[in-house]
Structure 1
Amino acid sequence: MEKTNNVSKFILLGLSLDQELQQVCFVLFLLFCAVIILGKLLNIITIKRSERLNSPMYFFLRYLSFVDICYSSVTAPKLIADFLVERKTISFVGCIAQLFMVHLFGGTKIFLLTVMAYDHYIAICKPLHYMTIVNKHVCSWMVVASWAGAFVHSMVQTLLTTQLPFCGPNEIDHYFCDVHPLLKLACTDTYIVSVIVVANNGMISLSCFVVLVVSYVVILVSLKTRSSKGRLKALSTCASHITVVILFFGPCIFICMRPSTTFSEDKMVTVFYTIITPMLNPLIYTLRNEEVKNAMKQLWSREVISSSTITLLPSMTS
């Protein structure tokens, strides 16, 4: 069948058609976006400049913070800008690019969270061999493999979508371009494509989730032989990561691992794992981690002292 495409742009219906509600959402999501960027940058700068936070766990956390910034930046700015306009449009090329980036950064985040679970497993279950198994070279390759796996996944989703014919209508019942809403607009039978999309999403989401669950089950079983102090320390190390995994994987699996149908709740569920969860991540990792909090305090104190010294030097020399 020859592919025909009469659609040069799509109309996004957004989160709501209520103008007053959109104005409130504009302020709210602008605040969310600012918190995400500032919180993640603070994490990245603290880990980068602190000599204490040089373990593989913080190496992965730094990259996770960077991916979260990229992930939210793909959808949040467009969503915020669309709150101020009545007709929300996006070009066909822009739509496909957005779809590709969402799956690239989303997939990278899934793989990084899985890698971090493996890091926790080695740190707790094989502490004597930890620095040998999870060295800098291995960490770097794990990050590269996460990006590569996400790239392949994103290319599959994008190529499956772009080969479909779109001849109208062009209204997407969402606030950004994703595979399932676009499949509804294709003017051909999308059953086979839908099955491949769900299989691809499901294979990645479910397999990574199973690895995460197995890792933490093994960790919890191994903690039975530890002292109460060692058990509490290990649980504190894992608690933040488990919280983030639940907050991200729960909504993500709800969206990805089902047939190509859309529900009214999809928009809010997607908002949760693309914007709300990245916003909460810095708070989760910071508030539950004494090392990060102490490093931030030291970094802030050092910056204040440096600024005070620079300010006092000219007055002393004069």
Structure 2
Amino acid sequence: MELNNITTSVREFVLLGLTQSCKLRHCLFAIFFLICIITWLGNFTIIATVVIDHQLHKPMYFLLANLAFLDVSDSLVNTPKLLSGLFTQHNTISFSECFLQMFFFHFIAGAMAFFLVGMSVDRYVAIYEPLRYLSVMNWTTCTGLVVMAWFGGFVHSAIQIGFLLHLPFCGPNVLDNFYCDAPQVIKLACTDTHMAELQMVFNGGVILIILFVILIVSYIVILLKLRTRIMEGKGKALSTCGTQITVVSLIFIPCIVIYARPYKKSPIDKVICVIYTVITPMLNPMIYTLRNTEMKKAIGRTLGKIFLSGRIQKPGQLAHPKRSHLTFP
């Protein structure tokens, strides 16, 4: 699809980034670079562990591995541009690259939102129908949840970018942010954008509100069920649910603030953007996965295998091939 139409003369956008202070940029670079390393190591460790460890070839861990993959993908869309922008005072992005960045950002973020709802279904079945869990949350169901999440994200992003492609850009090209995003880009169009903004609010903000309400209601139902049941690990389950509610809120509430209203510049907007583009991809593996005892044991086993396989062999000693256990049941 051709991005530039005949009424568009803008060839690039200027990103002002987080700050113009040189010292503060270097400090922020160090902080965000560390966050990125933690995010990538944590999520890639989860994915590798689920793939390698045969004991984790279960529906729940299949979903957790997909969540980790979404977090990595989310981090890779905007964070590299954020880090490069912290090194240069004048940071630009081409018109086509800007639209591609917006497409993949909304694609992955939309898939994440739908996927979290799918994971709430998994938790609901685990609490309310524990004896039927494996029959209900089978591989067909889990694969269907993943496919529907990605499809929902794709449709959302295609509609979002479709609104922008019909607008002319012929004048201002400065974005006061560290990445391209639809609410700010639409304000640069050389035409009345009132209807386009309302359409984008409905496609983004309203859908986010609906999904957030569904998630909160599902968590409330789960918490009420846990309170009325006497079972081993009840306190830990309640704590985990409470922590997950916090993370879900960190994802959805900032996004709702940005996308559920026509865009108006605010000093706090950049902080909000950092929360759901940089911070939450780091928190998700810690909250959803690394608090899981079975997962932590599996990570230990996987790391042990990796270190053992890297030992120096004696001269003339041949390694015996081992049968692969990577096939999911």
Q: What is aligned with 2:44? A: 41
Corresponding residue SS for 1:10: strand
CA contact (8 A) 2:64 2:289 kept: no
What SS does the aligned partner of 1:90 have? strand
Structure 2: how far apart are the matches of 1:213 and 1:122? 16
Residue equivalent to 2:286? 283
Report if aligned partners of 2:106, 2:156 keep a CA contact under 8 Å in 1.
Answer: yes
One of 107, 110, 114 as aligned partner of 2:113: 110
Which residue is 1:81 aligned to? 84
1:162 equivalent in structure 2: 165
SS in 2 for 1:221: helix
Question: 1:3, 1:164 within 8 Å by CA — same for their partners in 2?
Answer: no
Q: Which amino acid is 1:307 matched to? A: G
Relative distance call for 1:133 and 1:224 in structure 2 (3 A) is same
Q: Is the 8 A contact 1:3 1:163 kept in 2?
A: no
| TM-fit CA distance, 1:90 | 0.6
Pairs aligned (count): 314
Deviation by residue 1:31-84 (Cα, 9 ceiling, x = unmatched): 222221111101111122222323322111111111111111111111111222
Aligned equivalent of 1:130 = 133
* Contact residue 44 and residue 65 of structure 1 kept, 8 A: yes
The answer to whether the aligner puts 1:314 opposite 2:322 as a matched pair is no
TM-score when normalising by structure 1:
0.92
Given that 2:77 and 2:101 are in contact with CA atoms closer than 8 Å, whether structure 1 keeps it comes out as yes
1:146 corresponds in structure 2 to 149
The CA deviation string for residues 159-182 of structure 1, in whole angstroms up to 9 with x for no partner, is 101211111111011111111111
Q: What CA RMSD, in Å, does the superposition of the two structures yield over aligned residues?
A: 2.0
Structure 1: gaps (5+ residues)? none
- Report the equivalent of 2:327: none
Bigger mean CA deviation after superposition, 85-94 or 276-285: 276-285
1:79-121 deviation digits (Å, cap 9, x = unpaired): 1112222211111100100110110010011111111111000
Deviations 1:156-204 (A, max 9, x none): 1101012111111110111111111112111111111111111111232
- Higher helix proportion (structure 1 or 2): 1
Q: Distance in 1 between matches of 2:111 and 2:245?
A: 17
Once the two structures are TM-superposed, the CA of residue 236 in structure 1 deviates from its matched residue by: 5.1
Query: Where do 1:191-202 residues align within 5 Å?
Result: 191-202=194-205
- Please list every run of 5 or more consecutive structure 2 residues that lacks an aligned counterpart in the other structure: 319-329
Identical amino acids, percent of aligned pairs: 43
1:50 equivalent in structure 2: 53
Q: Kindly state the Cα deviation for residue 232 of structure 1 after the two structures are TM-superposed.
A: 3.0
TM-score after normalising by structure 2: 0.89
Asked if structure 2 preserves the Cα contact closer than 8 Å seen for 1:198 and 1:260, the reply is: no
1:277-298: CA deviation from partner (whole Å, max 9, x where unpaired): 1112222234422111111112
Matches within 5 A, 1:172-211: 172-211=175-214
Is the partner of 1:314 in helix, strand or coil? Answer: coil
